[in-house]
Amino acid sequence: MNAFFAAIEERDNPQFVGRPIIVGADPKKGVGRGVVSTGNYKAREYGIHSGMPISWAYRACPEGVFLPCDFKRYGSVSRNIFSVIRGYGYPTEQVSVDECYVEMPNCAGFENLAREMKQKIWEVERLTCSVGIGPNKLVSKVASNFKKPDGLTIVLKKDVQRFLDPMSVRVLPGVGPKTAGVLLSMGVITVKDLRQTYLYKLKEQFGKHGAHLWELANGRDDRKVFESHEVKSVGRQTTFWKDTKDPRIIYDTTLGLLRETFEELTGLGIFGKTLTVVVRYAWFETHTSQETSKGLLTFQEARRLGLKLLVPYFNNKLVRLVGVRVSGFGGGGVRSHSPEEGVSGAATSLV
C-alpha cells in the first residue's frame, strides 16, 4: 500500500489533503521522543521517513499535520484489503500489515489480473496500491517501488538486469545510507557497479553480507512465496543518524520502537510471546537476542525484557541500528480473529 497509515488519515480527514501528514509519536514541539511511523508523499518532500525520530521530523516540517497512530483502524482496513487479495485464491504471503507477495498464475493475463486487484482494493477502501511483478521476490519488490503511488511495473526474466543495473544500490534490501556510503567509497554507485565489483572485495568489506549484496545485484533471490494468513511478526527498526554508544539514547530509541510495535499489535488484535531485539554495530556486525515469556506479552513485560536483552550491548561499542520484533502469535496469540519468462512462478509484490 502507498504510505498506508498516512493515506488512511488523509482519506478520513479531507481537510488535510495536500498538506504534509506525519503519523507517529507526539512531537511535543520538537522535544518529543519516539519515531515516525509513516508520512504521506508531501511529508517525504521534507525528507521525513519511517523510523525517523519524531523530533527531527518536527524540525524539518513544523507546519506539518502530526497525528497519533490509530492501529485499530489501520488493522481493520488491512484485513479488508487482504480479504480482497486472498479472494483470488492464489498463494499469498503477508509480510506486514500493508505488504504481501502473491504467486501469480502462469497465464497471459497476469497484468489484467493485477489491475483488477488494484481496482477492487480501491472500490473497497478508496486506497491506492503499487504492484510489482517479477520472476522473484527481489525483483517484484523493487518493481513495486518503481512507480509510486498507484503504480504497476512488470519486469520479465529476460529484462531483470536491464531493469536493475542503472538503479542506485539503495534500491536493494539491506543497503541503507551507511552501507551506500561505504560502497560509494569503493566507487560503487549503481547496481551495475555492484554487480561488476569483485566478490572478494565485497566479502573483505562486508563479510557474508557482501556476498549477499552481490547476489542481489545479479537479480538472484531464491526465496519462495510461503502462504500465510496472518502476520508472523510485528516490529520496528531504525538506523541512528550518527553511530552512538550512549546507553540512554540506545534504550530510549528502542523503547520508542517497542511502543510503536505494541500500538500496532493492539490495532491488529494480536499479541505474542517472544520479544527479539536487534543490534547492529558500526562495522555491520548484527546481533539478535530474544526471550519467550510463558504468557502473552504486555507492554510492561516487553519493556522489562527489552532492557534485559539490551544490557549486554551497553558495552562502549558504536551502534548504528536497533530494532525490536514481537512474534510467537500461535497457540493463543491471536485475540481476534523455475520462473520462466516473467510469468510462471512469478512473485507479485503489493505494497
**Identity of residue 213:** L
Please report the DSSP string for 246-314 in residue order. Answer: -HHHHHHHHHHHHHHHHHHHHHHTB--SEEEEEEEETTS-EEEEEEE-SSPPPHHHHHHHHHHHHGGG-
CB 108 within 8 A of CB 329: no
Task: Say which amino acid occupies 162.
Answer: R
Q: Which residue has the cell 502462469?
A: 106
* Residues composing the chain: 351
Q: State residue 344's pLDDT score.
A: 34
Cell 523503547 sits on residue = 255
* Active-site annotation, residues: 99
Instruction: Copy the grid coordinates of residue 110.
Output: 497476469
Q: Is the separation of the CB atoms in 168 and 177 below 8 Å?
A: no
Q: What are φ and ψ of residue 31, in 5° steps?
A: -120, 5
> What share of residues in the chain are helix, strand, coil (percent, to 5)?
40, 20, 35
- 272, 329 in Cβ contact below 8 A? yes
What's the confidence (pLDDT) of residue 331? 46
Cis? peptide before 149, omega within 30° of 0 = yes
In angstroms, how far is the first alpha carbon of the chain from the final one?
4
Residue 286 amino acid letter: T
Q: Cβ(33)–Cβ(55) under 8 Å?
A: yes
CA angle 266, 267, 270 (to 5 degrees): 55
Is 222 annotated as contributing to ligand binding? no
User: What would the DSSP string read from start to end of 35-84?
Assistant: BEEEE-HHHHTTT--TT-BHHHHHHH-TTSEEE---HHHHHHHHHHHHHH
Task: Give the span between the Cα atoms of 7 and 14, in whole angstroms.
Answer: 11
Pairing, β 319-327 against β 233-244: antiparallel
- Note the pLDDT of residue 332: 42
What would you measure as the largest C-alpha separation in the chain, in angstroms? Answer: 58
Tens digit of each residue's pLDDT, the chain (351 residues): 889 999 999 999 999 999 999 999 899 998 887 778 899 999 999 999 887 888 899 999 999 999 998 988 998 999 999 999 999 889 999 888 899 999 987 666 788 999 999 999 999 999 999 999 999 999 999 999 999 899 999 999 999 999 999 999 999 998 988 899 999 999 999 999 999 999 999 999 999 999 999 999 999 999 999 886 667 788 888 878 788 999 999 999 999 899 888 988 887 778 899 999 999 998 878 899 999 999 999 999 999 999 999 999 999 999 988 999 999 986 444 332 233 333 334 566 666
What the chain holds in terms of domains, given with CATH numbers, is 4-69 (3.40.1170.60), 72-159 (3.30.70.270), 165-217 (1.10.150.20), 233-327 (3.30.1490.100)
3-state secondary structure of 129: coil
Nine cell digits for residue 268: 491488529
Closest to 41 measured CA to CA, from 28, 50, 33: 50
Q: Which of 132, 93, 141 is nearest to 110 (CA)?
A: 132
Q: Cα–Cα distance between 63 and 58 in angstroms, integer?
A: 8
Q: What is the pTM of this model?
A: 0.74
Residue 341 CB burial class (10 angstroms; 0-12, 13-18, ≥19): exposed
What's the distance, CA 195 to chain centroid?
24
Residues 269, 299: Cα–Cα separation, whole Å: 14
